[in-house]
Structure 1
Amino acid sequence: MDDQPSKRKMPTGVRIRHGRLQIYFSRNKETYNVTLPYPTTAAGINTAVKIRRELITKAEWGVLTDDDIALARGDVVADDSKIVDNGVLFQEVAQKYLKHCEANQDSKGDYLSALNKHWMPRLALMPIDKITSDKVRDVIADIGFNSDKTYNNCLVPLRGVFDKAIELRLITPADNPMSMIKNKKVQSGLPDPFTRDEMDALLNWLDVNLEGKDRFYYWYFEMAFWTGCRPSELIALRWSDIDWFNGSMIISKSRVRGVEKQVTKTHTAREVYLNDRSKRALEALDAMKLHDDYVMICPETSQPFYNEKPARMRLIDAMKAKRVRHRPAYNARHTYATMLLMADVNPVFVANQLGHSLQMLIKRYGRWIHGDQNKIEISKLPTN
Structure 2
Amino acid sequence: MPIYKIKKGKYQVDVSLGNDPITGKRVRKRPTAPSKKEAEYIEAKLRGKHKSKDWLSKKEISFPELIKLYLNECKLSNKPGYHSVQLYTINKHIRDYFEKADIKRITHNEIIEFRNHLIEKELDDGNKLSNKSVNNLLATLKQIFETAVNEGVIQINPCSKVKRLPLKHNKMKFWRPEEFKKFISFIPDDQLLFKTFYTTAYLTGLRCGEMLALQWEDIDQFVNELDIRKSATYIRGEFIVTEPKTKNSIRRISINQKLLGLLDHWKRHQKELFNLLKIPHSEKTYVFQYKDKPSSKDIFSRKIKYFCKDTDLEPIRLHDFRHSHAALLINQGEDYITIKERLGHASVRTTIDVYGHLYPNKQKEMADKLDDLL
> What is the TM-score normalised by the length of structure 1?
0.68
Contact conserved, 1:220 with 1:281, CA < 8 A, in 2? no
Contact conserved, 1:237 with 1:295, CA < 8 A, in 2? yes
Indicate the residue corresponding to 1:184 in structure 2.
165
The amino acid that maps onto 2:67 is: A
Indicate the residue corresponding to 1:54 in structure 2.
none
Indicate the residue corresponding to 1:361 in structure 2.
351
Identify which of 252, 263, 273 aligns with 1:282: 263
Identify which of 204, 216, 240 aligns with 1:260: 240
**TM alignment of 1:1-384, pairs within 5 A:** 87-101=60-74, 102-143=77-118, 144-145=120-121, 146=128, 147-172=130-155, 175-206=156-187, 209-211=188-190, 214-257=191-234, 258-268=238-248, 269-288=250-269, 289=271, 291-292=281-282, 293-299=284-290, 301-305=291-295, 307-356=296-345, 357-370=347-360
- Compare 308-317 and 136-145 and name the one that shifted more: 136-145
CA distance in 2, matches of 1:190, 1:250: 32
Residues 181 and 381 of structure 1: CA distance in aligned 2, closer, same or farther (over 3 Å): same
1:105 CA displacement: 4.9
| Higher RCO structure, 1 or 2 (CA under 8 Å, sep 6+) | 2
2:178 aligned counterpart, secondary structure: helix
Contact conserved, 2:186 with 2:308, CA < 8 A, in 1? no
The amino acid that maps onto 2:354 is: R
1:369 CA displacement: 3.4
CA distance in 2, matches of 1:374, 1:194: 25
1:184 aligned counterpart, secondary structure: coil
1:196 CA displacement: 1.3
Residues 359 and 343 of structure 1: CA distance in aligned 2, closer, same or farther (over 3 Å): same
1:99 CA displacement: 2.4
CA distance in 2, matches of 1:183, 1:93: 24
Residues 199 and 142 of structure 1: CA distance in aligned 2, closer, same or farther (over 3 Å): closer
1:325 CA displacement: 1.2
Contact conserved, 1:228 with 1:336, CA < 8 A, in 2? yes
Residues 319 and 121 of structure 1: CA distance in aligned 2, closer, same or farther (over 3 Å): same
2:247 aligned counterpart, secondary structure: coil
1:185 CA displacement: 1.6
CA distance in 1, matches of 2:365, 2:209: 38
Q: Deviations over 1:270-308 (max 9, x none)?
A: 111111232122211222225311342432x33212x21
Contact conserved, 1:202 with 1:322, CA < 8 A, in 2? no
Contact conserved, 2:208 with 2:319, CA < 8 A, in 1? yes
> What is the TM-score normalised by the length of structure 2?
0.70
CA distance in 1, matches of 2:164, 2:362: 37
Residues 94 and 362 of structure 1: CA distance in aligned 2, closer, same or farther (over 3 Å): same
1:261 aligned counterpart, secondary structure: strand
- Compare 288-297 and 265-274 and name the one that shifted more: 288-297
CA distance in 1, matches of 2:227, 2:176: 27
Residues 325 and 106 of structure 1: CA distance in aligned 2, closer, same or farther (over 3 Å): farther
The amino acid that maps onto 1:97 is: Y
Percentage identity across paired residues of the two chains: 22
1:368 CA displacement: 3.2
Indicate the residue corresponding to 2:13 in structure 1.
none
Residues 358 and 138 of structure 1: CA distance in aligned 2, closer, same or farther (over 3 Å): closer
Contact conserved, 1:319 with 1:325, CA < 8 A, in 2? yes
Q: Deviations over 1:313-355 (max 9, x none)?
A: 2222222243211210221111111111111123322211110
The amino acid that maps onto 1:364 is: V
1:177 CA displacement: 0.6
The amino acid that maps onto 1:368 is: L
Contact conserved, 2:197 with 2:288, CA < 8 A, in 1? no
The amino acid that maps onto 1:369 is: Y
The amino acid that maps onto 2:167 is: V
Contact conserved, 1:191 with 1:364, CA < 8 A, in 2? no
Residues 325 and 348 of structure 1: CA distance in aligned 2, closer, same or farther (over 3 Å): same
